[in-house]
Amino acid sequence: MTSAKKAKMKVIPPVATHVEEEPVEPKPRVQSALRAISILLAVSESPNGLKVKDITEKLKLSRQVTYHLIHTLHATGIIRKNESNRYVLGLASMAIAEGFHRQLAPPEHLARRVRSIVTATEEAAYASGWVGGEIVALSTARGESPVGAAQIPPGFSGHAHARAAGKLLLAMVDPNLCANYLDAHPLEARTSKTITNRAALLKEFETIRQRGYALDDEEFHEGIRCLAVPIDGLGGRFVLGISVPSARFDANFEQYLAVLKNAARINF
C-alpha cells in the first residue's frame, strides 16, 4: 500500500465493550466519625449512661480508640460525665434535639417513608414510636388497593401487645421499661388470636428480636395481618409497618418485607 493511500485511510476507533454499571452507594469512609456517632447513639440509648468499659464492649472498640473519641465528644459538650462516672448526653445535644424538632418533626420525617411503602405495595402503611412512655402511631397512610386494611388514626396508642408495631417496640426496648409498660397496660383480647398471657408474649418478643421484625396474625383486627420493622440506627425508637388483608399477605410477604426494609434505611 502506498503512503498516499495510507494517508487517506480513516482510523476507526474500537467499539466500546464496557457496559456502565449502576452507581453503588458509597460506604462511610471516615471511620472515626462513624465510631464517634455510634458512641453518641449508644449513650443516648442507655437508660443511665455508659462507662468506658460499657462502650468498648458494646461497640467492640479498643480502649485507646474509645478514650480518644470520648474525649473529643466531651470537649464539644455533646456528652458529659455524671457523678457515677458514666457518660450521658450533654447540654450541646439539646441543640441537635431542638434543631430536629424545628426543622423536621418526627411525623414529617416518617411520613415520606410511609408514603413510599404505599406507593410500592398499594397497602395501608404506618410509622409508630415511643412518645412519653406510650407507643403511638405517628404517621399513617391509606392503601391504594380497592380492598385494603382499615387505617388506624395518627395518635392511636392502644393495644400495643396486639399490634406488630407495638410488639416490635416492646421487644426492642429496655426490659425494665417493657415490664413497666406491661404492668400499666392489661393484655386485653382484641380477637381470638390476641396473646393475653404475659409469659407467651415475652416469648414472642424473643422470637421478634431473633428475626428482626414483628408480625400481627389477626391479633388486632380479624382478617388483617401486619408486619413491622425497625428504622435502622435509631435504637428501636421508631418502626414502620404495613397492614394487609390476610387473603394476600402470605403470597406477597417477601415483597412487603423488602419494601419495609428499604424504607427503614437510616439514610432513606
> Tell me, what amino acid is at 188?
E
Predicted local distance difference test score (pLDDT) of residue 238: 92
80 - beta bridge partners? 88
Predicted local distance difference test score (pLDDT) of residue 25: 45
Q: Which helix (H) or strand (E) holds 87?
A: strand 87-89
Question: Are the CB atoms for 126 and 110 separated by under 8 Å?
Answer: no
In whole angstroms, what separates CA 22 from the centre of its chain?
Answer: 26
Quick: pLDDT tens for 111-145: 999 999 999 999 999 999 988 888 999 899 988 87
Mean of pLDDT over the chain = 84
C-alpha cell at 127: 410509622
Domains and CATH numbers, the chain: 31-99 (1.10.10.10), 104-263 (3.30.450.40)
Q: Judge whether residue 7 has pLDDT over 70.
A: no
Rounded CA gap, 80 and 46, in Å? 14
The dihedral region occupied by 237, where left means phi > 0, alpha psi between -120 and 50, and beta the remainder, is alpha
Rounded CA gap, 163 and 155, in Å? 14
Predicted local distance difference test score (pLDDT) of residue 107: 65
Q: Judge whether residue 19 has pLDDT over 70.
A: no
pTM exceeds 0.85, yes or no: no
Quick: pLDDT tens for 191-236: 999 999 999 999 999 999 999 999 999 999 999 999 999 998 777 7
The dihedral region occupied by 159, where left means phi > 0, alpha psi between -120 and 50, and beta the remainder, is left
